[in-house]
């Protein structure tokens, strides 16, 4: 069964801006799906419509086979949303926030408290349960929103940039948690500017730009179509002049750092042989950017802004 099926989704705002131009999207049950796109591409609008925070102009959405327009409340029971902005009542404690949210989904107070305990413990917030949510760190607030979205145990979890502004250690622990949630059967749709995150977590991806899906498919299939990749090589000594490499492009050579662009499928041994022949010793190498990011930038046809280009640099 399809967890989400979107057909011809269009959104035109009152000011005439068309945020979505006939989006078609399918997410299979159990998938970990990335919805990527530059700022203003229409990701949050699409998520807003799916979660009933934004009114669609045209199109249809089915959640686990149920039509969102005619069976909206049944659909809402199946969806959990982690929005981009912090949107809980900061005057309430984490425990109250979760118990209240569970109540909105018809969960009795007794069960709500049990579930809240479960998710607050899983997300390492149990110690903070009676504290002021306003005083929690950014990472804790993000985790609290994930716990809140899970408290009614949705079948489809939508995460709109859940790790924005979260340090790498917490981000990775959140990845692990989300992978566990996904492997227990929850379908997850993720939007993120950290393309390493999408490449690590997601099996399928759709790239949206200017309100249109420009690419959709399995992450591995898309990456196999990536034409080039760049590597940064750390050298033992600074070369006297940039090396001459046949079949590879030297992007830059500065000090003991060499950046090389090569076609996907090129033999790395050839590169090393040519460098060795010029008495250049390589002590380490890494991807300049992760592969999905390179694919994404080429597809959306522009340089990402600094905000769009956050990456931790995938190791080769």
Partner 1 sequence: MQSITAVNIVAFKTMVVKEVRRFMRIWVQTIVPPAVSALLYMTIFGTLIGSRVGEMDGHRYIDFIVPGIIMMAVITNSYGNSVSSFFGAMFQKHLEELLVAPVHNAVILAGFVVGGVCRGMLVGSLVAVVSLFFTRLHVENPLITIAVVILTSTLFSIGGVINSVFAKGFDDISIIPNFVLTPLTYLGGIFYSIHLLPDFWRGLSYFNPVLYMINGFRYGILGRSDISIGWSFLVIVVFIVILAAIALRLLNKGVGIKT
Using CB under 8 A, list all residues that contact partner 1.
Answer: 13, 45, 48, 51-55, 72-74, 76-77, 79, 81, 83, 85-91, 96, 100-101, 103-108, 148
Nearer to partner 1, 53 or 276 (CB): 53
- Give the shortest CB-158-to-partner 1 separation in angstroms: 10
| CA pseudo-torsion sign 238, 244, 246, 249 | positive
- Give the shortest CB-99-to-partner 1 separation in angstroms: 8
Nearer to partner 1, 106 or 255 (CB): 106
Nearer to partner 1, 156 or 206 (CB): 156
Indicate the angle between helix axes 168-183 and 138-150, nearest 10 degrees: 10
Q: What is the DSSP letter of 302?
A: S
Question: Other C-beta atoms within 10 Å of 39: how many?
Answer: 11
- Give the shortest CB-40-to-partner 1 separation in angstroms: 14
Q: Which residue from 260, 244, 240, 263 is spatially nearest to 252, judged by alpha carbons?
A: 260
Nearer to partner 1, 66 or 297 (CB): 66
Nearer to partner 1, 105 or 126 (CB): 105
- Give the shortest CB-127-to-partner 1 separation in angstroms: 22
Q: How many residues does the chain have?
A: 316
- Give the shortest CB-314-to-partner 1 separation in angstroms: 34
Please, which residues have CB within 8 angstroms of residue 11's CB and are 6 or more apart in sequence?
18, 19, 20, 42, 45, 49, 54, 56, 57, 211
Q: Answer whether 231's CB lies under 8 Å from 284's CB.
A: no
């Amino acid at each position: 069964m399809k967890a989400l099926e979107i057909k011809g989704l269009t959104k035109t705002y009152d000011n005439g801006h068309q945020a979505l131009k006939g989006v078609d999207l399918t997410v299979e049950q159990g998938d970990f799906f990335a919805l990527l796109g530059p700022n203003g591409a229409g990701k949050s609008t699409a998520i807003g419509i799916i979660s009933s925070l934004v009114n669609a102009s045209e199109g249809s959405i089915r959640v686990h086979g149920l039509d969102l327009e005619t069976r909206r409340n049944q659909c809402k029971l199946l969806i959990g949303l982690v929005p981009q902005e912090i949107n809980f009542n900061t005057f309430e404690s984490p425990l109250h926030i979760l118990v209240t949210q569970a109540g909105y989904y018809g969960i009795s107070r007794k069960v709500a408290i049990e579930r809240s305990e479960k998710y607050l413990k899983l997300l390492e917030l149990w110690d903070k349960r009676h504290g002021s949510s306003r005083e929690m760190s950014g990472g804790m607030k993000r985790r609290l929103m994930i716990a809140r979205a899970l408290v009614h145990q949705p079948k489809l979890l939508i995460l709109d940039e859940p790790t924005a502004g979260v340090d790498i250690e917490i981000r990775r622990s959140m990845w692990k948690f989300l992978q566990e949630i996904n492997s227990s059967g929850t379908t997850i749709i993720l939007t993120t500017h950290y393309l390493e995150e999408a490449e690590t977590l997601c099996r399928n991806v759709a790239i949206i730009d200017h309100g249109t899906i420009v690419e959709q498919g399995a992450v591995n299939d898309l990456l196999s179509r990536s034409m080039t990749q760049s590597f940064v090589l750390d050298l033992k000594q600074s070369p006297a002049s940039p090396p001459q490499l046949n079949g590879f492009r030297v992007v830059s050579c500065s000090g003991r750092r060499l950046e090389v662009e090569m076609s996907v499928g090129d033999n790395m041994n050839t590169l090393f042989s040519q460098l060795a022949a010029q008495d250049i010793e390589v002590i380490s190498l890494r991807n300049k950017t992760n592969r999905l990011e390179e694919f994404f930038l080429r597809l959306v046809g522009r340089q990402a802004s600094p905000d769009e280009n956050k990456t931790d640099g995938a190791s080769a």
